[in-house]
Amino acid sequence: MVSISKIKRTNRIYIDANVLINYCTGQPNDCSELKWLFSSKCDDMLYTSNLAIVQTIAKLQTANKYRKALLRTDIEKFINYFYSHITVCEVSNNIIKQAMNLIDGDDLEDNIHYLASQSVNCNIILTNNKKDFLPFNINIRTPRRLKYA
């Protein structure tokens, strides 16, 4: 019989749009973190939302002062890759309505991401934007460059 203390608890990690975007644009910490999470060595369960996918597409197809817009075919490759590694939950009208009624968070989009994470019972949000998730009762982690990824 295996002792309960020896059983590793699998994390349920919600990946925020900014991490997905940074992965696609080659930001080292985000790339390293997601490569590790996508690897067979990691047994964490990964989630994001259809909102995060749409936000990622919108940012990648728009140029800014630091980079050109990505080609549609490149964006599609990234999104298909995410779909093969991450469970994408739906942001419903009900989640949007609940987000507007949250008193704790000031950023409506992040309220939606938080509620989406809770709809699939996530215990960690992976984001580069910790401050907007601080009002919520959830562990917040930022991507870091991992030596083994």
Contacts of 26 (CB under 8 A, 6+ apart): none
pLDDT at 103: 84
126 located within any domain: yes
147 located within any domain: no
pLDDT at 8: 57
120 located within any domain: yes
pLDDT at 149: 43
Q: Write the CATH number for 126.
A: 3.40.50.1010
Note whether 95 and 119 are within 8 A (CB). Answer: yes
pLDDT at 147: 60
Q: How does DSSP classify residue 67?
A: B
Which residue has 């994408």 as its token pair? Answer: 88
Ranges of the chain whose pLDDT falls below 50: 1-3, 5-6, 149
Note whether 110 and 133 are within 8 A (CB). Answer: yes
148 located within any domain: no
Q: Distance (Å, rounded) from C-alpha 125 to C-alpha 129?
A: 10
16 located within any domain: yes
Whether this model's pTM surpasses 0.85: yes
Domain count for the chain: 1
Q: Distance (Å, rounded) from C-alpha 120 to C-alpha 140?
A: 16
pLDDT at 110: 95
52 located within any domain: yes
1 located within any domain: no
The parent domain of residue 124 ranges over 12-141
Note whether 50 and 20 are within 8 A (CB). Answer: no
